[in-house]
Structure 1
Amino acid sequence: MSLTIKLHDCHLNLLNNNHLGISKPKTKVPNLKLKFRTKPIYHSDPLLSVVYNSTMHASSARPPQSAVIKSSLIDPDGGALVDLVVPESQRAAKALEAEALPKVRLTKIDLEWVHVISEGWASPLRGFMREDQYLQSLHFNSLRIEDGSFVNMSLPIVLAIDDETKERIGSSNNVGLVGPGGDLVGVLSSIEIYKHNKEERIARTWGSTAPGLPYVEEVITPAGNWLIGGDLEVLDRVKYNDGLDHYRLSPRQLRKEFDRRQADAVFAFQLRNPVHNGHALLMNDTRRRLLDMGYKNPILLLHPLGGFTKPDDVPLDVRMEQHSKVLEDGVLDPETTIVGIFPSPMHYAGPTEVQWHAKARINAGANFYIVGRDPAGMGHPTENRDLYDPDHGKKVLSMAPGLEKLNILPFRVAAYDTVEKKMAFFDPSRAKDFLFISGTKMRAYAKSGENPPDGFMCPSGWKVLVNYYKSLQTEEASQQQAVLST
């Protein structure tokens, strides 16, 4: 016999500030298998789907002592990870097939999406979206899968082509994909070509059609007027040969590493900026809270975004060098931290995009996701304000369809405590003692060579940033001198 009960207000907050609320019934019902589902919880509570069996064990909460710890902490969307790389024994034949097909040339950012799709970050998606998938993503932020359930898919993952390419494809059912360097990348089969309504795509993804949106300017505005979808097969794993490929762990590789480390919880933190001590405080505090819940070995997935970013963001290679210094200096514990690169391009689409960031980490095996102020947001490109409400990202994650199995961890605001001389959680009762150092302010410090307050960032990590901005200034001076000389 089974009974499903929806929990609304019955929450046992195991941690301070409701950061990791777990719901348990107050009374036991003998001989019944009960499934409890939480109502969406807003702003400061995680959205948890807690399941109890007849022994009243909470599968989302304290792990049983006898449990075998595997990477199945959280199932990938659709139940199985997608891997679209052609087996080595079949690659020669597939390359011959691709060579004979009409070709679609990929941009650098198109190739980043090939990388994302082929490794299963977008599971269960198996290629660039056909029109029905595109419309579901654009209008519902989710896809209905074969069993009738929904998975989150808040960003359209599409491939644009121009009129000339469409004409060249003609009636062919399959096309070969060619990388920016002219190399064969793979095959898109059983294709569908449909209209690329750019204005609708931009308005629904960003909630704005203001000029100056970075991804729009870089990718969508110059793109063709058609979208082509189909099933993707990739001839070999995407490599960038930039000295950072060893950081680009696929979802399958990450799950194996979580197994190797015997993780009983994995909490993911995405960022596109250098790690300062406020970030570290947050990540270390999250691990402490998970330990307080009863987990024995929570593992941090420090997962910087590695695809397209806007020009004024710190480049990936500099960020990765800075992250390594944070680990070397012991600000984060290397034994309980995995650093990997998330290959997705950045949209800066706020609450819409943060759902994609969370969904992708489900496929990588993370069952907790940290979200903070204005995730995936940016300043309005033409007005002096934020493009999105800073609190909407975490609110949307608590309600987003398809993310119910992921525990959302909104974090407390950290700032520089001028009394304690360190980064600390903001205390409103003594607000005057705290200094907020924005990313813009941090970059201004680094550009000028001025040191931030002691305790803001580990010294070796800060030196990486200062050296980067010095090299930029030297390069700019050289270019200016060359212009004057001519």
Structure 2
Amino acid sequence: MSSRVLSVKSSLIEPDGGSLINLVVPDSERLSREREASELPHVKLTQIDLEWVHVISEGWASPLKGFMREDEYLQSLHFNSMRLKDGSVVNMSLPIVLVIDDEQKAKIGGSSDVGLIGPSGDPVGVLKGIQIYKHNKEERIARTWGTTAPGLPYVEEVINPAGNWLIGGDLEVFKPIKYNDGLDHYRLSPQQLRKEFDKRQADAVFAFQLRNPVHNGHALLMNDTRGRLLEMGYKNPILLLHPLGGYTKADDVPLDVRMEQHSKVLEDGVLDPETTVVAIFPSPMHYAGPTEVQWHAKARINAGANFYIVGRDPAGMSHPTEKRDLYDPDHGKLVLSMAPGLEKLNILPFRVAAYDQKEKKMAFFDPSRPQDFLFISGTKMRTYARNGDNPPDGFMCPGGWRVLVQYYESLQAEETSKPPTVVSV
């Protein structure tokens, strides 16, 4: 397939592979491509599959042009990177694959192409020049997460229930992926983000990913990073505040609530709207620690960011069966500083922020007076909001906190309104 590439480039950093991949067919060709696809055997996508189609089609995974064939999959799984035809190496730490079962494999038969159908039955695209190969779930899980312990959210949701075959090929998408949830205007593609950075005349772009509401400790880190870049001689560093918008585990705060909370942070002036771009990163979340944080950093290269902020235990989670962190909290930033294919990205490790009970505000942790600092984890923050308790003054802007409290109040109202379960003996 001769995929189109975009000439749009921010002057700050080139996309991986040199050109930004765009796999959406031109409007003038869409109807004819859809008609051709209707004659093909098809694969029905899950919602998370569709999120990966979105990721691939917009070029977040450039230079990947579709779901991985076996050689790409093995390089990703074993080396966290892919070697291109010119000998250069790009980072690719997460396998981006499409799974099918025995029945779907039989229906595809000897066809070289398959149509892709969305979760609601609408035609999404075509996978061309396909290759079907074995899905060794145990190896994939062990190498991606470093454990096969039960209870890993993405594994339980996506991998364990899925089939025993992977299908790779070149992707064509009929039209841009939209979710019609009131948030599509935040889903800026890498091409759109690069144009926005150039429009703002950015001479540095620093990306910050999170999947939690923004508290004043996060804001301290982001504002401090901008100050550091100004001290380094940059004149107009722009922050890309880039929350993850794909699949997240059940106890994470939903995307719409997070986006409303983020808007309050800008309204309250905690972050400067003039120097901040807020957009949604459409990738699903794996919670795979140092392996996954490489993917998060690599994707931001394609969006035009040349600096990436990394903190404690990025993309990490608690061990699913033991009372400990699944990953060493320092390994994410260490891995990013050494990862193959990320050499052109500037990694900015940040200092730990906590609530300074003496100064009544979020501040960088001072090891000379540890007794003065209160660490408020995401879990603790959600517990405060769920119980209707207020965090210490200065932890989060009032408008942002109200959004969280109202969300948990609505959850409790839903629980209260549910009819009781009747068990007959």
Is structure 2 residue 109 aligned with structure 1 residue 206? no
- Structure 1 gaps of 5+ residues are 1-69
* CA deviations over 1:423-471 (Å, ceiling 9, x no partner): 0000001111111001111011001100000000000100000000011
Alignment of 1:459-474 (within 5 A): 459-474=398-413
CA distance in 2, matches of 1:169, 1:253: 36
Q: Which residue of 1 aligns with 2:261?
A: 322
1:227 partner SS: strand
* CA deviations over 1:42-99 (Å, ceiling 9, x no partner): xxxxxxxxxxxxxxxxxxxxxxxxxxxx712000000000000000011011001111
CA distance in 1, matches of 2:105, 2:311: 43
Is structure 2 residue 78 aligned with structure 1 residue 128? no
Is structure 2 residue 160 aligned with structure 1 residue 160? no
TM (normalized to structure 1)? 0.85
CA distance in 2, matches of 1:150, 1:214: 30
Is structure 2 residue 360 aligned with structure 1 residue 421? yes
CA distance in 2, matches of 1:482, 1:111: 36
Q: Which residue of 1 aligns with 2:275?
A: 336
CA distance in 1, matches of 2:23, 2:78: 27
Read off the aligned partner of 1:278 and give its amino acid letter. G
Which one of the candidate residues 448, 470, 474 is aligned to 2:387? 448
Q: CA deviation at 1:478?
A: 1.6
1:398 partner SS: helix
The count of corresponding residues between Structure 1 and Structure 2 is 416
Read off the aligned partner of 1:117 and give its amino acid letter. I
Q: Which residue of 2 aligns with 1:369?
A: 308
Q: Which residue of 2 aligns with 1:251?
A: 190
Q: CA deviation at 1:477?
A: 1.6
Alignment of 1:359-438 (within 5 A): 359-438=298-377
CA distance in 2, matches of 1:351, 1:485: 46
Q: Which residue of 1 aligns with 2:5?
A: none
Is structure 2 residue 23 aligned with structure 1 residue 84? yes
Q: Which residue of 2 aligns with 1:106?
A: 45
Alignment of 1:4-83 (within 5 A): 71-83=10-22
Q: Which residue of 2 aligns with 1:277?
A: 216
Read off the aligned partner of 1:178 and give its amino acid letter. I
Is structure 2 residue 150 aligned with structure 1 residue 215? no
Which one of the candidate residues 232, 235, 251 is aligned to 1:293? 232
Q: Which residue of 2 aligns with 1:226?
A: 165
Q: Which residue of 1 aligns with 2:76?
A: 137
Identity %: 82
* CA deviations over 1:265-301 (Å, ceiling 9, x no partner): 0000000000000000000000011001110000000
CA distance in 2, matches of 1:484, 1:157: 44
Read off the aligned partner of 1:156 and give its amino acid letter. P
CA distance in 1, matches of 2:422, 2:259: 35
Q: CA deviation at 1:485?
A: 11
Q: Which residue of 2 aligns with 1:310?
A: 249
CA distance in 2, matches of 1:420, 1:386: 30
Q: CA deviation at 1:393?
A: 0.3
1:133 partner SS: helix
CA distance in 2, matches of 1:123, 1:85: 14
CA distance in 2, matches of 1:88, 1:287: 40
* CA deviations over 1:239-268 (Å, ceiling 9, x no partner): 000000000000000000000000000000
* Cα-Cα RMSD: 1.0
Is structure 2 residue 293 aligned with structure 1 residue 354? yes
Q: CA deviation at 1:483?
A: 2.6
Q: CA deviation at 1:388?
A: 0.3
* CA deviations over 1:298-349 (Å, ceiling 9, x no partner): 0000000000000000000000000000000000000000000000000000
Q: Which residue of 1 aligns with 2:421?
A: 483
Q: CA deviation at 1:482?
A: 4.0
1:429 partner SS: coil
Read off the aligned partner of 1:292 and give its amino acid letter. E
Q: CA deviation at 1:484?
A: 5.2
CA distance in 2, matches of 1:354, 1:248: 20
* CA deviations over 1:190-247 (Å, ceiling 9, x no partner): 0000000000000000000000000000000001100000000000000000000000
4+ long deviations beyond 6 Å:
none
CA distance in 1, matches of 2:215, 2:37: 46
Read off the aligned partner of 2:356 and give its amino acid letter. D
Read off the aligned partner of 2:338 and give its amino acid letter. M
